Amino acid sequence: MSRRHRSGCAEGRPVTLLLLSIDFDKARSAAVFLALWALCFGQPARADGLVADLTSHLIAITTGFTGSSVVLFGATDGPGDVIVAVRGPDREMTVRRKSRVAGIWVNTQEVTFANVPSFYAIAASHPMSEILSPASSSFYRLGIANLRLVASTPAPSVVVDAFRSALEREQQQAGLFSERIGKVDFLGERLFRTTIAFPSNVPTGTYLVEVFLVRDKDVVGGQTTPLVVSKVGLDATVFEFSVRQPGFYGAIAVLTAIMAGWLASLPFRGA
């Protein structure tokens, strides 16, 4: 089974502290900020919302890492539905399309998307279309279809759409995009929990876990929590060394290989 790192900060935190954590993690979604703003300083009716936290704020990638999961849990101030969205750091991705040239399949077209989340998972207590209006889904960028992917390659929108759906398909196959409807479980009316699973190829970086409280097809409250995915131990050391001292790392890799080759031939000597 995966490791679940239980840290001390497991219990629900006061809402005011959450603004700080957003600030530190450079939340890019203004919508979340607005939701929080409404949550903290809005009218009394909106100040009610939810409190949530993760069992761990660190996914530690060690040598035996085969994927991991964290549990998100919390409480709402009353009936309502909960949507949880997890976003990894953005990265640039290029999608290429092959076509046949003289009997051979060749990459002929490509579209580059500048800001593809390296990981995106969404879970909700009920199907999204039943609990949230399309306008709100779009505004809060909830769901894979509502991600703002900007094509940095000039191309007709029909072409971009086709490339975008190919990108979504591949990311889903790699386990990096997922939509898990009905995976937020309520214990009674107010307590909820869900498990966020990360595959072994999970990209490293600072993730944002956004939790939304939904009533009458609209977002009425929300909270954002950071989650760090990081290499630790030997793997982190090897990785950092390879980036900071690339020439030295290469030389050591070669020397290690030579030593290994030499050592491996020793037991056979004279045999």
Partner 1 sequence: MQSSAQRQYLAGALDSTMDIYLPIAEVSLDVLVLLGLGAAVGFLSGVFGVGGGFLLTPLLIFIGVPPTVAVASSANQLVGASVSGVLAHWRRGNVDFKMGYVLLAGGLAGSFLGVWIFTLLKRLGQIELTISICYVLLLGVLGGLMMVESVRALLRVHRPGASRRRLHQHTWMHGLPLKARFRRSRLYISALLPIGIGFVIGVFSAILGIGGGFIMVPAMIYMLGMPTSVVPGTSLLQIIFVAANVTVLQAYTNHTVDAVLALVLLVGGVVGARIGTRFGMRLRGEQLRFLLALIVLAVAAKLAFDMTVQPADLYSTASERG
**Calpha distance 7→231 (Å, rounded):** 17
The yes or no reply on residue 152 touching partner 1 (CB under 8 A) is: no
Q: Which of 197, 205, 206, 218 binds partner 1 (CB under 8 A)?
A: 197
Distances (CA, A) of 105 to 98, 99, 102, 182: 6, 5, 8, 41
The one segment of 26-34, 57-65, 72-80, 147-155 that binds partner 1 by CB under 8 A = 57-65
- Give the E-state strand segments of the chain in sequence order: 50-54, 58-61, 68-76, 81-87, 90-101, 104-117, 120-124, 177-181, 185-187, 191-198, 205-215, 218-231
User: In the complex, what is the shortest distance from the CB of residue 175 to partner 1, in angstroms, rounded to a whole number?
Assistant: 3
Q: Which of 125, 178, 223, 224 binds partner 1 (CB under 8 A)?
A: 178
Nearer to partner 1, 46 or 180 (CB): 180
The yes or no reply on residue 156 touching partner 1 (CB under 8 A) is: no
Q: Which of 135, 150, 174, 187 binds partner 1 (CB under 8 A)?
A: 174
The yes or no reply on residue 157 touching partner 1 (CB under 8 A) is: no
Q: Which of 7, 152, 201, 230 binds partner 1 (CB under 8 A)?
A: 201
Spatial contact of 222 and 36, defined as CB atoms under 8 Å apart: yes
Residues 232-261 that bind partner 1 (CB under 8 A): 234-236, 238-239, 242-243, 246-247, 249-254, 256-258, 260-261
Residues 84-123 that bind partner 1 (CB under 8 A): 91-100, 103-107, 118, 121
Name which of 216, 246, 241 is nearest 231 in CA terms: 241
Nearer to partner 1, 149 or 220 (CB): 149
Distances (CA, A) of 248 to 204, 235, 254: 24, 17, 10
The yes or no reply on residue 158 touching partner 1 (CB under 8 A) is: no
The one segment of 8-16, 45-53, 63-71, 133-141 that binds partner 1 by CB under 8 A = 63-71
The yes or no reply on residue 135 touching partner 1 (CB under 8 A) is: no
Q: Are strands 177-181 and 120-124 parallel, antiparallel or unpaired?
A: parallel
User: In the complex, what is the shortest distance from the CB of residue 44 to partner 1, in angstroms, rounded to a whole number?
Assistant: 40
Nearer to partner 1, 191 or 260 (CB): 260
**Calpha distance 221→40 (Å, rounded):** 9
User: In the complex, what is the shortest distance from the CB of residue 220 to partner 1, in angstroms, rounded to a whole number?
Assistant: 28
**Calpha distance 82→131 (Å, rounded):** 9
Residues near 144 by beta carbon (within 8 Å), at least 6 away in sequence: 120, 122, 168, 172, 177, 179
Residues 6-35 that bind partner 1 (CB under 8 A): none
Residues 208-237 that bind partner 1 (CB under 8 A): 231, 234-236
Q: Which of 12, 42, 203, 205 binds partner 1 (CB under 8 A)?
A: 203
Q: At what angle do helices 30-41 and 15-24 cross, to 10 degrees?
A: 160
Spatial contact of 211 and 227, defined as CB atoms under 8 Å apart: no
Spatial contact of 137 and 124, defined as CB atoms under 8 Å apart: no
Nearer to partner 1, 136 or 171 (CB): 171
Tokens 């040239």, residue located: 101
